[in-house]
Amino acid sequence: MKQSGVLVLALSLLGGAGCDDNGVAPSNLPIVFTAQLSPANEVPPVSNAENTGSGAVQITFNVTRDAAGVITSGTVNFHFQLSGFPASAAVVGAHIHSAPAGVIGGVIVSTGIVAASPVSATGGITSFTATTIAVGGATIQAIVDNPAGHYFNVHSALNPGGFARGQLSRTL
């Protein structure tokens, strides 16, 4: 019983240490977001051949803070995976946009995927990782302050506005 009490105390201390993103007890730990990607979440929902399938994204920000604990800059790592889409559903773009569910918003952070170098499925699964993309502190702070006000989506030639989308949710 003593060991489990110590474990709970240790986890509580770890969970509380350096978790404030507003300058109090700053932390340099990564800030992680996820989203479940679906054609039904697009605006309007996808109704053509790419309306099947699903996916997920993990977005990890590694932040730099000033002496006051304010996020000044950082880098982002993306990893997404899609399955169940037609083989022709090559990803020609993937981004974080600023807008709540049901609204189309502008791109604020790009993975670097472009139409000239699409990402295609292999064995029915599309998987992509991009690392160390520079992002401004204000952009990171806006996402931290309101994850649900931002979404990640993937774009194809058939659906240039996006074929799978999900609102961000902070996990760490």
The DSSP element (H or E) to which 97 belongs, if any, is strand 93-98
Q: Which tokens go with 130?
A: 């991009």
- The dihedral built from the CA positions of residue 101, 104, 110 and 116, taken in this order, carries a sign that is positive
Average pLDDT over residues 33-54: 97
Whose tokens are 């790419």? That residue is 50
Domain 2-170 belongs in CATH node 2.30.30: no
Average pLDDT over the chain reads 88
Instruction: State yes or no: pLDDT of 123 exceeds 60.
Output: yes
CB 43 within 8 A of CB 103: yes
pTM of the model as a whole:
0.85
For residue 143, the 8-state DSSP code is H
What pLDDT digit, counting tens, does each position of 11-30 carry? Answer: 333 444 444 555 444 578 89
Q: Which residue has the higher pLDDT, 22 or 54?
A: 54
Q: Within 10 Å of residue 6's Cβ, how many Cβ atoms?
A: 10
Note the pLDDT of residue 14. Answer: 40
Beta partners for residue 169, in sequence order = 34
Domain borders along the chain are 2-170
CB 147 within 8 A of CB 169: yes
Note the pLDDT of residue 86. Answer: 95
Note the pLDDT of residue 64. Answer: 94
CB 82 within 8 A of CB 154: yes
